[in-house]
Structure 1
Amino acid sequence: MGFREERAAERKMNILRVAARLFSEKGYHEATLEEIARELKYTKGSLYYYVSSKQELLFQCHELAMDLLLENIRKIRQSPLPPDQMLREVIKGHIETLVSEFNLITVALGSDYELEKEYAAAIIARRDQYEEIIAGIIQEGIEQQLFRPVPVKMVINLIMGAANWIGRWYNPRGPLTVQEISQFYADYLVTPLLTAR
């Protein structure tokens, strides 16, 4: 990637982060492209060089959030870890990504209903990919008799519901670090799946 492409990618990332923050703080309908441009010290016209509409901007926030989550989970899936350790790492990675890109991920988790049909279908397909990877890890754990035979979809719903809810209450000034929170969740959510040995 050349200097110009790097510069354009950096600007695009800045736009998405500012948009995610304003969508998170004000809500999708209340935040305007004018405000986003003003925060960035851009003209509204220069913003249109990167996105065609506010709806596309929201979609790109969702896309970036899914890129981050999928990149992390694919690395873990390719590791030689046993399924129980792999699932712990997935939970920790999910929570740490959520917190490190707080506005971006919370917008993606809380505004999917705002996406137009075509955009929503693309994001749902990517979420399905993410959940399929988790399902594969759990299924592998069951086959290896590391995990009890459990309803896989229910376990995924439990993990995602618990992990994503952190976006509602997390406070960086709280008594626990992100790593301590993610480790607690990983242990708490995986331990009940284990077979007695």
Structure 2
Amino acid sequence: MSFREERAAERKLNIIRTAARLFSEKGYHEATVEDIAKELKYTKGSIYYYIQSKQDLLFECHDLAMNMLMASIDKIKESGLAPDLMLKEVIKGHVEIMVGELNLINVSLASDFLLQDEYAEIIVKKRDLYEESIKKIIVEGIKQGIFKPVPEKMVIFLIMGAINWISRWFSEKGPLSKEEIAQFYADYLLAPLMLKQ
């Protein structure tokens, strides 16, 4: 990637992150492209150089969040860890992304119903792939006698529901760091799955 391409990618990322923050603070309908441009000290025209519409920008927020989660789980799958340790790392990774990218995740959780059909289809496919990766880890853990035989889909709903709820209560002023929260969730969500040795 050339310097010019890197700079363009960095500018687009700044636009997406700023949009996520303003969508999170004001709501998708209230935040305008003008607001985003003003926040970044860009012209409105320069924003439209990187995106086609506000809907396109909403999709980019969703897509960036899903790409981060997919990159995290793909790296963990390549680690060669046992299924219990792998699932623990997936939970930790998800929590750390959740806390570290709170505006982005908040927008993704609160506005999926606002995506146009063609955008929603792309995001749903990525979510399905992410959940399928988690399911394979759980199935392998059951097969190896590490996890109790459980309905995998229900376990995934439980894990996702618990982690996604963090967006409702997390505060940077809280007593725990994102790493400590991630470790707590990994330990407590994994414990009920383990077969007692």
Does the alignment reach a TM-score above 0.5? yes
* Deviation, structure 1 residue 165: 0.5
Aligned pairs (5 A) from 1:37-116: 37-116=37-116
Match of 1:34 in 2: 34
Whole-angstrom distance in 1 between the partners of 2:176 and 2:18: 27
Q: Which residue identity does 1:103 align to in structure 2?
A: N
Quote the RMSD (CA, aligned, Å): 0.6
Q: Is the CA contact (8 Å cut-off) linking 2:12 and 2:50 kept in structure 1?
A: yes
Whole-angstrom distance in 1 between the partners of 2:119 and 2:5: 25
Match of 2:186 in 1: 186
Whole-angstrom distance in 1 between the partners of 2:156 and 2:73: 14
1:49 match: secondary structure? helix
* Deviation, structure 1 residue 101: 1.2
TM-score, length basis structure 1: 0.99
2:24 matched to 1:24?
yes
1:146 match: secondary structure? coil
Q: Is the CA contact (8 Å cut-off) linking 2:95 and 2:163 kept in structure 1?
A: yes
1:56 match: secondary structure? helix
* Deviation, structure 1 residue 115: 0.3
My pick for the range that moved more, 172-181 or 21-30, is: 172-181
Whole-angstrom distance in 2 between the partners of 1:54 and 1:177: 34
Whole-angstrom distance in 2 between the partners of 1:67 and 1:44: 27
Q: Which residue identity does 1:99 align to in structure 2?
A: V
1:42 match: secondary structure? coil
Q: Which residue identity does 1:151 align to in structure 2?
A: P
My pick for the range that moved more, 108-117 or 125-134, is: 108-117
* Deviation, structure 1 residue 173: 1.1
Whole-angstrom distance in 2 between the partners of 1:13 and 1:46: 13
Match of 2:160 in 1: 160
Q: What whole-Å deviation, never above 9, does each CA across 1:29-49 have from its counterpart, x for those lacking one? A: 000011111111111111110
Whole-angstrom distance in 2 between the partners of 1:177 and 1:42: 34
Q: Is the CA contact (8 Å cut-off) linking 2:134 and 2:156 kept in structure 1?
A: yes
Q: Is the CA contact (8 Å cut-off) linking 2:100 and 2:178 kept in structure 1?
A: no
Q: Is the CA contact (8 Å cut-off) linking 2:89 and 2:186 kept in structure 1?
A: yes
* Deviation, structure 1 residue 196: 1.3
* Deviation, structure 1 residue 159: 0.1
Displacement over 2 Å in runs of 4+: none
**What fraction of aligned residue pairs are identical, expressed as a percent?**
65
